[in-house]
Amino acid sequence: MSFDPPPLFARIYARHGHRCPMSTLGGRLGLAALNLLGQTGGELRAVFANRTCALDGITEVTGCSEANGRLKVVPCGRHALTVSTIDDRRVEVELTTTALEMAGRYRSLCDRLERGWEELDSDEQARRQGAMDALLDELLPQFWQAEDQLLVVTNG
């Protein structure tokens, strides 16, 4: 990586263990929800409708986690986050088709390049890892900088 991520996303990647489109998009979902609620802190509750890497981004941004009992995961195949305040104001945000397609480019590349990984020599592993890293270097800044409406839709 030839650049440093913004501090929030650096914390997300530290929590998650590596750079990842879905943890980044989880952070964007959390930011969008907090912005819509006009919330910068306080006691929040959240429900996410999928068990994906997005959970680490959501946790870092909202402070809600399964460990502290304030994040519930109800897997139903959507990338939708509902955040509510202690006074029961709530908002639901969901990833757009565009966001999912962009993240899907990375997933598809990884699926293809990671096949038979253990049997590859170290030079080929390095070449393939470089291709995956190059796509992350292209995608992640787009996720950090994109307008909310490109990545997130508000439901309800």
| pLDDT level of residue 145 (50, 70, 90 thresholds) | very high
Is residue 26 within 8 Å of residue 55, measured between CB atoms?
yes
Residue 118 to residue 102: CA distance in whole angstroms: 27
CA–CA gap between residue 28 and residue 110 (Å, rounded): 22
Q: Tens digits of per-residue pLDDT, 42-97?
A: 789 999 999 999 999 999 999 999 999 999 999 999 999 999 999 889 999 999 99
For residue 39, the model assigns a pLDDT of 76
Q: 80 near 155, Cβ under 8 Å? A: yes
The string of pLDDT tens digits covering residues 2-54 is 578 999 999 999 999 999 999 999 999 999 999 999 977 678 999 999 999 99
The whole-number pLDDT of residue 156 equals 67
Residue 1 lies in a domain: no
d(CA 79, CA 87): 25
In a domain, 141, yes or no: yes
Q: Which residue has the higher pLDDT, 1 or 84?
A: 84
pTM confidence score:
0.94
Can you give the CATH number for the domain in which 97 is found? 3.30.1330.130
Domain span at residue 80?
Answer: 7-155
